[in-house]
């Protein structure tokens, strides 16, 4: 398991906080001189921390990005705090996309040009022909090695044709 703190620094984080050791809300308040965070990305997968994320946001268009896939409903989301602060919520999932195929094309380009330096967080890889087994087991905690660029464009072309039929 890769240690998260050095990894966060590698990806550009200037400050990190361990919520087990630090009152994160107070630390953010001190760091920003009371302004609080412009945006918070919730990536734990725990619906229980959404109110904590809301409490870290500034008043007036603080943005909360939900990138996790939640397995349980969030109980007791503080809608009063959300409306008082004027929070914007974005869901970073395919359902939010206006054009999933274009998003896929752009993501593949960013990965191929090494904009995202992901090698340090990849635990294991599988070949594309193994994906159905992983889906059947609901075990997709891996990176899928795609074929060469030309073949990927062919797959995207196939997906576009399938999408056009529906």
The hierarchical CATH code for the domain 4-95 is 3.40.50.720
138: exposed, middle or buried (Cβ count in 10 Å: 0-12, 13-18, 19+):
exposed
pLDDT band at 156 (very low <50, low <70, confident <90, very high): low
Nearest to 121 by CA among 111, 107, 132, 113: 111
- pLDDT exceeds 70 at position 164: no
Residue ranges of the chain that CATH labels 3.40.50.720? 4-95
* Chain length of the chain: 166
Span 56-77, average pLDDT: 88
Separation of alpha carbons 143 and 131, rounded Å: 10
Q: What is the pTM of this model?
A: 0.66
Mean pLDDT of the 154-162 span: 51
Query: Does pLDDT of 160 surpass 50?
Result: no
Query: Mean of the pLDDT values across residues 97-125?
Result: 80
pLDDT tens for each residue of 23-62: 999 999 999 999 999 999 888 888 888 999 999 999 999 9
Task: Map tokens 């967080």 to a residue.
Answer: 121
Q: 70 or 152: which carries more pLDDT confidence?
A: 70
């Amino acid at each position: 398991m890769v240690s998260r703190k050095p990894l966060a620094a590698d990806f550009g984080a200037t400050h990190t906080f361990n919520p087990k050791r630090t009152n994160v809300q107070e630390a953010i308040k001190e760091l920003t001189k009371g302004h609080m965070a412009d945006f918070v990305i919730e990536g734990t997968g725990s619906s229980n921390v959404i109110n904590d994320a809301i409490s870290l946001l500034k008043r007036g268009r603080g943005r909360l990005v939900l990138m996790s896939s939640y397995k349980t409903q969030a109980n007791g989301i503080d809608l009063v705090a959300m409306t008082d602060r004027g929070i914007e919520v974005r869901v970073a999932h395919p359902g939010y996309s206006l054009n999933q195929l274009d998003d896929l094309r752009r993501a593949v380009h960013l990965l191929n040009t090494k904009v995202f330096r992901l090698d340090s967080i990849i635990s294991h890889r599988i070949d594309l022909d193994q994906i159905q087994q992983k889906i059947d087991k609901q075990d997709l905690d891996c990176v899928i090695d795609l074929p060469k660029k030309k073949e990927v464009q062919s797959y995207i072309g196939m997906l576009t044709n399938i999408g056009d039929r529906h």
